[in-house]
Structure 1
Amino acid sequence: MDVVGQGGSAPAAALPVAPSGDGHGAVVGRSERKDGGTVTRRPGRAARVVRPDLEEVFRAAYPRVVAVAARVLGSRDEAEDVAQEVFLAFARSSVPAGEAAGWLSVAAAHTALNHLRTGRRRASREEAAEGAAEVCPDIADTVVARDERRRVRAALARLSRRQAVALVLRHSGLSYAEVAAALDLSPGSVGTVVRRAESALRKELNRHASSE
């Protein structure tokens, strides 16, 4: 599956940004509690307790979360937006830290697919990202490659959610064991699920290619 997307290290001191009352992002202020928890403070709002392991999990899992989202969206900037959503959801959850990696990977795939399926894309940002990533003397090759990536992402959005998520996780570098744990599958069934998803993706690509 040739969908562009690369992860990266977690930005220094870049914990999730919480939405402020006016709908814009507001950087979360933090102070420590005596019991080890963290209190977040937002402009014009009362303090709220955030799970104490958030920063540790964020720094460990951020590159993979961005990589998974970028596999779907083909844009590093959009993938980072998805990562913000996913880590905010994790901050409000009671998911054990030991299960965070799988939970976050699945959440990143689901959230990115939601963006893809509902059209919550930034076309100009995508064009800029693709243009910056490609240095090619032949404009025809550039156009063909870009069109192919768009076709793959569109076909991915038409797959069943289970197939799409399995395919994204596997092609984001997760091992069969990690995919199995993340999707609550038996390790022996992951290969079958992924192969069927790949077959379904090829059928979608061929079906729409023949109708164009």
Structure 2
Amino acid sequence: MAVSTPSPAAPVRSDLESIFRSAYPRVVSVAARVLGSRNEAEDVAQEVFLSFGRSSVPAGEAMGWLSVAAAHTALNHIRSGKRRAAREQAVRGDGVAPDIADAVAARDERAQVRAALSRLPRKQAVALVLRHSGLSYAEVAAALDLSPSSVGTTVRRAESALRKELNRHAPSE
């Protein structure tokens, strides 16, 4: 049985395995914060590392690049999944058993936050996700090409914009 090797048109980085081993947990964590699902986050991580494997990003910038790519890719998954979610909601209907009402309410709140996050300007959304994923101000600054002193302002503006989005799209009772 022949072993498949990458084509010459798409060379794979020689440092991919070592970077993958060190960065995978953070990439999955960033994506999971956006998506709320570890399984979906692992799918996003695969996409991110496939792209990274063919990139020329310097190894020293890998963690920031991978974190931003994870946030961007996860946000893209949210945006592309909105139609699917609407179809699923239509199929489920409105009948909710009282014993699962709290779980449904919590899931709906998380879905509202994710939807609001997807409506923010990309740089704000990514800064918010990266910061709340545990990256330091310096790491967020490096990943988004900002000055470290502007990260706090960007994150606060993103939080404010997120609150406004949540209030604007809050269901009326």
TM above 0.5, yes or no, is yes
Structure 2 CA distance for aligned equivalents of residues 145 and 211 of structure 1: 17
Report the counterpart of residue 108 of structure 1 in structure 2. 70
Contact 2:10 2:54 in 1 (8 A): no
Report the counterpart of residue 92 of structure 2 in structure 1. none
Per the TM alignment, residue 144 of structure 1 is displaced from its structure 2 partner at its CA by: 1.4
Map 1:53-64 onto structure 2 (within 5 A). 53-64=15-26
Moved more, 81-90 or 141-150: 141-150
Secondary structure, counterpart of 1:79 in structure 2: helix
Q: What do you get for the CA RMSD once the two structures are aligned?
A: 2.3
Secondary structure, counterpart of 1:93 in structure 2: coil
Q: What does the per-residue CA deviation read over 1:6-50, in whole Å, with 9 as the maximum and x for residues that have no partner?
A: xxxxxxxxxxxxxxxxxxxxxxx6xxxxxxxxxx626xx779642
Secondary structure, counterpart of 1:196 in structure 2: helix
Secondary structure, counterpart of 1:209 in structure 2: coil
Letter in 2 for 1:82: V
Structure 1 CA distance for aligned equivalents of residues 10 and 114 of structure 2: 38
Contact 2:48 2:69 in 1 (8 A): yes
Report the counterpart of residue 167 of structure 1 in structure 2. 128
Report the counterpart of residue 15 of structure 1 in structure 2. none
How many residue pairs match? The answer is 159
Contact 1:166 1:179 in 2 (8 A): yes
**Residues 47/202 of structure 1: CA separation in 2 closer, same or farther (3 Å cut):** closer
**Residues 158/117 of structure 1: CA separation in 2 closer, same or farther (3 Å cut):** same
Give aligned-pair identity as a percent.
81
TM-score, structure 1 normalization = 0.69
1:94 pairs, out of 56, 81, 84, with 56
Structure 1 CA distance for aligned equivalents of residues 84 and 21 of structure 2: 26
**Residues 160/46 of structure 1: CA separation in 2 closer, same or farther (3 Å cut):** closer
Secondary structure, counterpart of 2:169 in structure 1: helix
Structure 1's unaligned 5+ residue stretches are 1-28, 30-39, 124-136
**Residues 175/41 of structure 1: CA separation in 2 closer, same or farther (3 Å cut):** same
Query: Which structure carries more strand by proportion?
Result: 1
Report the counterpart of residue 191 of structure 1 in structure 2. 152
Structure 1 CA distance for aligned equivalents of residues 28 and 72 of structure 2: 13
Report the counterpart of residue 209 of structure 1 in structure 2. 170
Contact 1:179 1:190 in 2 (8 A): yes
Structure 2 CA distance for aligned equivalents of residues 94 and 87 of structure 1: 13
Report the counterpart of residue 178 of structure 1 in structure 2. 139
2:13 pairs, out of 37, 51, 55, with 51
1:148 aligns with 2:114: no
2:34 pairs, out of 72, 76, 92, with 72
Structure 2 CA distance for aligned equivalents of residues 121 and 106 of structure 1: 25
